[in-house]
Amino acid sequence: MMAAVRVLSQRGSSYARRRRAVGMTLVEILVVIAIIAALAAMIYPAIMDSLKKSQAAMIAQRLDAVQKAEVQYTIDAEVNATPLPNNGDPVTIGQVQPYLTRYGVQIQGKSDLNQGTGGTIELGNWGSNPFFSAGSGVASNPYIAKYNIPTGPLPQGGSAGN
């Protein structure tokens, strides 16, 4: 009799182990999903904030590269910082591309600098505090260089002034 009870108890316990080992119940799965959703809801704002900060840092780095390229271009082209008539002559992306590449930024056109509309990038006082403009309302500072950067392909040849 003892052997029969022992066999039945062994069979019962292995059945319970097999049932638990098969998988999770629907309630357990829903609890896990709820926990994951709560964690995601807490983490999402922090991720979005860090994404915005990284985009701002990338834009600041690109502006710095454009500023350095402009300064280097004015040095190489022997342009003096004198008041420019009609807000300056247009400079194509082909003229400043070698300087942008030198500072580690690949800018093929204005779409790489901002997501807005308009056709000019205005850099004030030969490199201090660059700012974007949609092309209307030129600042009154006489030392503004107004660059018209075309969105088309770069000129062939790769040399400045193309």
Rounded CA gap, 26 and 33, in Å?
A: 11
Per-residue pLDDT tens, the chain, 162 aa: give them.
555 555 555 555 566 566 556 778 899 999 999 999 999 999 999 999 999 999 998 998 888 888 888 888 877 876 655 444 444 555 566 666 666 665 555 555 555 554 444 444 444 444 443 443 434 444 433 334 444 444 444 445 444 443
- The strand pair at 145-148 and 120-123 is best described as antiparallel
State the DSSP string of 93-115. HHHHHHHHHHTT----SGGGT-S
Provide the whole-model pTM. 0.34
What residues does each domain of the chain span?
26-148
Residue 128 near residue 122, CB atoms below 8 Å: no
Place of tokens 């983490």: 43
Asked if 133 contacts 148 with a C-beta cutoff of 8 angstroms, the reply is: no
DSSP run (H or E) holding 85: none
- Residue 153 in contact with residue 98, Cβ under 8 Å? no
